[in-house]
Amino acid sequence: MRKKLAISLLSISLIMLLGISVIASDKGVVYYLSPNQFDEMQTAASNMIKDAVEGAGYTCRIMVAGNEDSNLQMNQLENAITQDPVAIIVAAVDGNAIIPGVEQAKAAGIPVIAFDRVISGTKVDFTSVAGCKRIGIMAAHKIAELLEEKYGEPKGKILDIMGDPGDSYTVLIEEGLRETMESEYPNIEIETKIAYGWEATTAANIADDYLLANPDTDLIFPHSDHMAVSIASVLQTKGLNKNDILLVSTAGMPSGLQLIRDGWMKATVEQPVSAQAEGIAMFLDDIIQGNEIKLGSYEVLGIPAEIIEQPYGLELRISGSVITAENVDDPLFWGNQVGE
């Protein structure tokens, strides 16, 4: 009898403990709308957002817009609104096409948080991004440094391959790249092509065709590592050696870090994905409750960040780093954390 009583009391205690735990962590449902899952960054971002949001005490549900399908994402946003979540996080396939859905959510009293990709045509409650223009500036300086090593001065010909122009990430990188090159490195010739939908095969075909007509190309700058992987394959198929045509990219994906280790890519400018996700979790309670969030400097996972006021609302901007062969194994880079 005493043994049964002890077991019963233990069971009740466990139930109470679990019940308290569930109640303490049940702050409501947050939806995350991902634009795709075909590249490592987006796959990692979904996992990191889920972990960060649930670590803050919410339930996170993820919807994926196929392969960058803006119509599908709009439908998903409308469906999410009907579920009355406490917030919706969206990495927009197209920052303009998503605006009507964002305004529907706001009309329903649901906070909208932009992740990674800026939605500038309407007010959102919060935006967490890498300093994308800063990424373009950092890439420009690294490209100039590499060309100066080759020629003794910053000059040469580069092929610049953007991602989808509906994505603010690539647009702002391009802005930073162009402004820096034009003002500081006028002897570097740039030709820009677009890989719509961020398709790696499109980027590879662009590089292949361009090199046929321009064999004197010095460097290729795709705006994402997953495109750099396909371009490196093109270079190998053409029988080129490492460093015959230099590669610089952005994002800091595991595949990009491996290209650096293998010697096919000289550098990538990291997009601090884990910090962007954690940055949302840091302020999620305040966003949902409508509390004031102060402008100024912050630190997210040990990375410098700042909150600034933009026409479209508060923006948390987090700095990235240039990754090269010298620091590629640094465990702080998110590309070295995936799978741990």
Q: Are 161 and 291 in contact (CB under 8 A)?
A: no
- Structure tokens that stand for 276 in this block: 């962007």
pTM: 0.80
Helix (H, G, I), strand (E, B) or coil at 166: coil
317-323 average pLDDT score: 92
Residue 105: φ, ψ to 5°: -65, -45
| 42 vs 53: CA distance, rounded Å | 16
* pLDDT at residue 116 tops 50: yes
| 336 vs 340: CA distance, rounded Å | 8
Per-residue pLDDT, 337: 87
* pLDDT at residue 118 tops 90: yes
pLDDT band at residue 6 using 50, 70 and 90 as cut-offs? very low
> Per residue in 187-219, pLDDT tens?
999 999 999 999 999 999 999 999 999 999 999
Class of domain 8-124+273-319: alpha beta
Per-residue pLDDT, 4: 42
- Structure tokens that stand for 250 in this block: 């952005």
Per-residue pLDDT, 339: 59
Per-residue pLDDT, 26: 85
Which residue spans of the chain are classified as CATH 3.40.50.2300? Answer: 8-124+273-319, 132-270
262-290 average pLDDT score: 97
Angle made by CA atoms 95, 226, 211, in degrees to the nearest 5: 105
Residue 72: its H or E element = helix 70-82
Per-residue pLDDT, 13: 43
Per-residue pLDDT, 20: 34
pLDDT band at residue 84 using 50, 70 and 90 as cut-offs? very high
> Per residue in 131-161, pLDDT tens?
899 999 999 999 999 999 999 999 999 999 9
In whole angstroms, how large is the CA radius of gyration of the chain? 23
* pLDDT at residue 305 tops 50: yes
173: left (phi > 0), else alpha (psi -120 to 50), else beta? alpha
CATH second-level architecture of 132-270?
3-Layer(aba) Sandwich (3.40)
Per-residue pLDDT, 138: 96
Q: Are 191 and 213 in contact (CB under 8 A)?
A: no
Q: Are 20 and 74 in contact (CB under 8 A)?
A: no
* Strand ranges (E), 91-232: 112-115, 126-130, 156-162, 188-194, 219-222
Q: Which residue has the higher pLDDT, 284 or 23?
A: 284
| 96 vs 79: CA distance, rounded Å | 19
Helix (H, G, I), strand (E, B) or coil at 251: strand
**Distance, first Cα to last Cα, the chain:** 47
Per-residue pLDDT, 25: 55
Per-residue pLDDT, 39: 83
